[in-house]
């Protein structure tokens, strides 16, 4: 999917919501556990209930890998279900990969070719040759960790390197890499006050923003400081949506939570673009 197609979706749906699919068998409604593939059935119901309110889905790969072969199969069925039924929706494999170039190429093939995700999250720590293999794929996107939503982000990401915070160095340096137009960045919603600085360096890039909902970040604050002329944000909520209820009404309640976020986004988009 191109960024233009993603932007068209945002305009059509008046939403820049990304629903995170972090499926934990200890948290899903108990009646699903009797089914052959509870993870997929859970995801399918959530996707069917929210697809018109969001523009992206972000399965976090850890939640699938944790269940071995069954988890990997559920991931494959989930991504195929989205691609077959809702092909306009942007898909993010939240895998936080990155290794020596030779290995990164194989990670990229796994997520872009085999599973056919539109994007994958990548850690920048190993530098240029660990990220460029992901960038080589046309119309696929590499979402690099810049300033993460967790407390530990302050351990390294805000340290000064040659007088500049490390996350700023990461943003600036990555712009010089081959096919850098295929980059997007993760910036946590819990650090809304940093968005102005981020936008000075990457004014036009899409930012994937986790940390609203369960982690307490504010959608309004992120939009105030982080939105660009094409919105430029994908706001993720996982637990706040998918675990809105642990009863048989879980999909309905997930829809209600997604709708609340979409309505807030719609208000912001209408105000900003006077539509
Ligand atoms: O900085 C980051 C990067 C990734 N994440 C991931 O996003 C979701 C957030 O889930 P919530 O339930 O909405 O808190 C989860 O998959 C994280 O691994 C992040 O939170 N922060």
Confidence of residue 33 (pLDDT cuts 50, 70, 90): very high
Tell me the per-residue pLDDT of 97-140, one tens digit each, with 9 for 90 and over.
Answer: 999 999 999 999 999 999 999 999 999 999 999 999 999 999 99
> How far does the centroid of ligand 1 lie from the alpha carbon of residue 199, in Å?
21
Q: Predicted ipTM? A: 0.99
Ligand 1 pocket check for 214: Cβ under 6 Å: yes
What interhelical angle do 219-226 and 250-273 show, nearest 10?
30
φ/ψ region of 125 (left if φ > 0, alpha if ψ in -120 to 50, else beta) reads alpha
Q: How far is the CA of 210 from the centre of ligand 1 (A)?
A: 5
Check residue 88 and give its pLDDT: 97
What confidence score (pLDDT) does residue 207 get? 98
Mutate-to-test residue for ligand 1 from 144, 151, 238, 257, highest number of ligand atoms within 8 A of CB: 238
Q: What is the mean pLDDT of residues 157-163?
A: 96
Contacts of 36 (CB under 8 A, 6+ apart): none
Ligand 1 contacts CB of residue 157 (under 6 A): no
Distant-in-sequence, close-in-space partners of 59: CB < 8 Å, separation ≥ 6: 20, 21, 22, 43, 75, 78, 79, 91, 92, 93, 94
Give the range of the structural domain holding residue 221, as residue numbers without chain letter: 3-273
Cite the active site residues: 96
Confirm or reject: Cβ of 239 under 6 Å from ligand 1.
yes
Q: What is the mean pLDDT of the chain?
A: 96
CA of 211 to the centre of ligand 1 (A): 6
CATH number of the domain where residue 37 is located:
3.20.20.70
Q: 92: CA distance to ligand 1 center in Å?
A: 12
- How much is the average pLDDT of 237-246? 96
Residue whose CA is closest, atom 4 of ligand 1?
210
Question: Residue 46 corresponds to which tokens in the numbers above?
Answer: 């959530």
pLDDT attached to residue 157: 98
Q: Which residues of 225-243 are buried (b: 16+ CB within 10 A; e: fewer)?
A: ebbeeebbbbbbbbebbbb
Cite the beta strand spans of 24-140 per DSSP E: 56-59, 90-97, 119-122
Task: Render pLDDT for 91-101 as a digit per residue (tens, 0 to 9).
Answer: 999 999 999 99
**Residue of 19, 20, 215 to test ligand 1 pocket, by largest number of atoms within 8 Å of CB:** 20
As separate numbers, helices (DSSP H) first and strands (DSSP E) second, the chain gives: 12, 10
Number of domains in the chain: 1
Q: How confident is the model at residue 241 (pLDDT cuts 50, 70, 90)?
A: very high
By most ligand atoms within 8 Å of CB, the mutation choice from 18, 22, 216 for ligand 1 is 22
């Amino acid at each position: 999917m191109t960024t233009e197609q993603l932007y068209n979706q945002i305009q059509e749906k008046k939403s820049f919501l990304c629903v995170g699919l972090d499926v934990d068998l200890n948290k899903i409604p108990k009646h699903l556990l009797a089914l052959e593939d509870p993870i997929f059935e859970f995801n399918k119901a959530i996707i069917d209930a929210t697809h018109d309110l969001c523009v992206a889905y972000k399965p976090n790969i850890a939640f699938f890998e944790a269940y071995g072969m069954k988890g990997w199969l559920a991931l494959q069925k989930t991504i195929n279900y989205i691609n077959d039924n809702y092909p306009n929706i942007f898909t993010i494999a939240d895998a936080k990969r990155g290794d020596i170039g030779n290995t990164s190429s194989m990670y990229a093939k796994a997520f872009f070719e085999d599973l056919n995700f539109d994007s994958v999250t990548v850690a920048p720590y190993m530098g240029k040759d660990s990220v460029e293999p992901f960038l080589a794929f046309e119309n696929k996107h590499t979402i690099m960790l810049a300033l993460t939503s967790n407390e530990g982000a302050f351990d390294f990401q805000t340290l000064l390197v040659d007088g500049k915070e490390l996350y700023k160095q990461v943003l600036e340096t990555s712009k010089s890499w081959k096919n850098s137009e295929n980059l997007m960045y993760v910036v946590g919603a819990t650090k809304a006050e940093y968005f102005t600085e981020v936008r000075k360096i990457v004014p036009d890039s899409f930012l994937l923003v986790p940390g609203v909902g369960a982690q307490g970040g504010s959608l309004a604050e992120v939009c105030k400081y982080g939105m660009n002329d094409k919105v430029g944000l994908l706001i993720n909520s996982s637990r706040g949506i998918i675990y809105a209820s642990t009863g048989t009404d879980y999909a309905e309640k997930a829809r209600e939570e997604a709708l609340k976020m979409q309505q807030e986004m719609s208000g912001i988009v209408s105000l900003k673009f006077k539509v």
